[in-house]
Amino acid sequence: MKCIPASSTGSAAWSAEPVPGAAERLDPQGLMLWLARQPAGRGLCIECGAGRAEIGAFMARAFGRVIACDIRPVPAPSDAAPRNLERRLAPAEAIPADDRSADLVVSMQALHFFDRAGHLAEVRRVLRPGGVFAALAWGEMLLPGPVAAHLAVLTTALAAHWEPARAEVVAGYPDLQCEGRALALPAAAMVRAMTLAGILAEISGWSAARRARAAQADLPEVAPVLPGLTADARFAVAWPIVGRVFRTAA
């Protein structure tokens, strides 16, 4: 994979191994389209831990009604929200929906914040026969080999500062069990073209980096340069979408 220079003067000579499997993965929109097709019906979708309700807004195209619930919902412009999207102040352990009323219950990067037993009990209560439960998350960031090697001293140092739940999250909640048949999640990822400086800025915003700074940890400095790579050169960075999906019996 060659870097994508920001201008014709960028270094096109630098090359790296491609992000593994990136070309074969669905993009986030493609994965949401796949997910919307899995329930037996498309009456009601519920997004839990919704935040800005980005999934809910997308699912409003496919479902007759969408409820986006969160204990700290992020306001959105009223003119930007689909008419069939309802924002509710509610926890994932008390879903504001009737018994057996939902076709899809979904969360993104949120399951580990819930009381899991309470949330799963609510999922079982609200799902209709043939309904789908999806707990999604972001997996490990994938970088071209030379970039990953350049950053390894920093990412290794930060490993000790991640929250205990992180390993389960980036693995896609592998031990999660729910009633119904487990569905194979298609390979999917968000892919962006970034510079080395951009990646370093991204890493500085990680919760592990914030925790390390709060603890006054002595972190190694990584130069924002790499031999053969100009400052404005861009390369592909992928964030896989991982998780577990279950469909109840119809």
Domain CATH number, residue 145: 3.40.50.150
Model pLDDT for residues 182-206, shown as the tens digit of each residue? 999 999 999 999 999 999 999 999 9
Q: What's the distance, Cα to Cα, between the start and end of the chain in Å? A: 46
Domain that holds residue 201: 4-247
Domain count, the chain: 1
Average pLDDT estimate for 50-71: 97
pLDDT score recorded for residue 138: 97
3-state secondary structure of 22: helix
Model pLDDT for residues 65-82, shown as the tens digit of each residue? 999 999 997 777 666 789
Q: Which residues pair with 105 in a beta bridge?
A: 46, 133
Q: What is the mean pLDDT of the chain?
A: 90
Distance separating alpha carbons of residues 127 and 243, to the nearest angstrom:
19
pLDDT score recorded for residue 58: 97
117: which 2 tokens?
Answer: 């037993």
Element holding 193 (H helix, E strand): strand 189-194
Model pLDDT for residues 97-124, shown as the tens digit of each residue? 999 999 999 999 999 999 999 999 999 9
Average pLDDT estimate for 46-65: 97
Angle, CA of 99, 94 and 77, to the nearest 5°: 105
On whether the pTM is more than 0.95, the answer is no
Model pLDDT for residues 137-158, shown as the tens digit of each residue? 999 999 999 999 999 999 999 9
